[in-house]
Amino acid sequence: MGYETLNVETSNHVAVIRLDRPEALNAISSTLLGELAKALKAAQANDKVRCIVLTGSEKAFAAGADIREMSEKSFVDVFMGDLFGDEVDQFLRIRKPIIAAVAGYALGGGCELAMMCDIIIAADTAKFGQPEINLGVIAGIGGTQRLTRAVGKAKSMDMHLTGRFMDAAEAEKAGLVSRVVPAKKLMDEAMGAAGKIAEKSMVTVTAIKEAVNQSQEVGLSDGLLFEKRMFHALFNTEDRVEGMKAFVEKREPQFRDR
Ligand code: CO8
């Protein structure tokens, strides 16, 4: 499928979705967000895809929602149209793992998109920020919630209230990103991680994504119960039998997603 604002390539079980609006630093227009939701849904439906990498350009992962487009809208437009609501819901329904490979600016909605992914791998050029305050608004697709969970209240307040940017080193130290690599190695690192995930049983991968995400939604005892029941349930799978048998027989497991 051809897209106006994205490039999508699938190889070795990994779908790479590249945001592609260089003229606006990948600013997130409604077209871009709609196409992204479609591309993710297609990747979810494609049995050959076992992991998804979402990335941008060297200069920008995404510099936020498209300010030009938003500047024309009224409260009634965004409220009654539920601006970005459907697309975000569709993003969050993707059950395959999504790695954000971030170089350059990840600001506002760009930072929020990265945080909606499951793992963030950053180039040493990455800059994260929630500068919506400078436009007279606040984050709209999770910034006040996910950044706070990721880096704690003090740093999240600092980022949202001052609008300052966090560089890659600070983001790694604060726990927002899982790895920082030289910009030239960003895609190799992301594809390496995606390739590793693609080798595992998709049943187990999906269970892990659900269980870790559960930790962001519920209290500890409910989360622990969810995890324990999921652990018990996986004893029903052929891949669990194969994984443990392969360990005992000192060989690599052959998972079949069953
Ligand atoms: N929207 C629209 N156009 C943009 C955006 C944007 N967010 N960011 C950059 N551009 C455009 C510029 O207008 C410029 O276009 P042109 O060449 O036609 O004038 C081009 O991209 C290049 O940008 P700059 O010349 O400004 O490049 P610099 O290197 O000088 O500066 C910056 C880079 C610092 C990233 C600067 O462009 C900037 O501050 N951008 C805006 C960042 C921002 O405020 N982001 C938050 C937006 S609000 C938001 O995200 C709300 C989230 C709520 C929900 C989101 C759902 C998706």
**Residue 238 near residue 202 (C-beta atoms within 8 A):** no
Give the pLDDT of residue 188: 98
Distance CA 16, CA 33 (A): 16
Residues (pLDDT < 70) of the chain are none
Give the pLDDT of residue 238: 98
Ligand 1 atom 47: residue of nearest CA: 64
Give the pLDDT of residue 191: 98
**Domains, the chain, ranges and CATH?**
6-198 (3.90.226.10), 202-248 (1.10.12.10)
Structure-token pair, residue 52:
């998804």
pLDDT in tens, 157-174: 999 999 999 999 999 999
Give the pLDDT of residue 7: 98
**Residue 39 near residue 55 (C-beta atoms within 8 A):** no
The neighbour count for residue 108, using CB atoms within 10 Å, is 28
Structure-token pair, residue 256:
């079949």
**Residue 146 near residue 115 (C-beta atoms within 8 A):** yes
User: Locate tokens 């001052």: which residue?
Assistant: 162
ipTM exceeding 0.95, yes/no: yes
Q: Which residues are catalytic?
A: 65, 109, 112, 132
What separation in Å is there between the alpha carbon of 27 and the centre of ligand 1?
6
- Alpha-carbon dihedral sign for residues 143, 145, 148, 154: positive
Select from 35, 67, 102, 135 the residue to mutate for testing ligand 1; criterion: most ligand atoms less than 8 Å from CB. 67
Ligand 1 atom 36: residue of nearest CA: 63
pLDDT in tens, 46-90: 999 999 999 999 999 999 999 999 999 999 999 999 999 999 999
Give the pLDDT of residue 258: 97
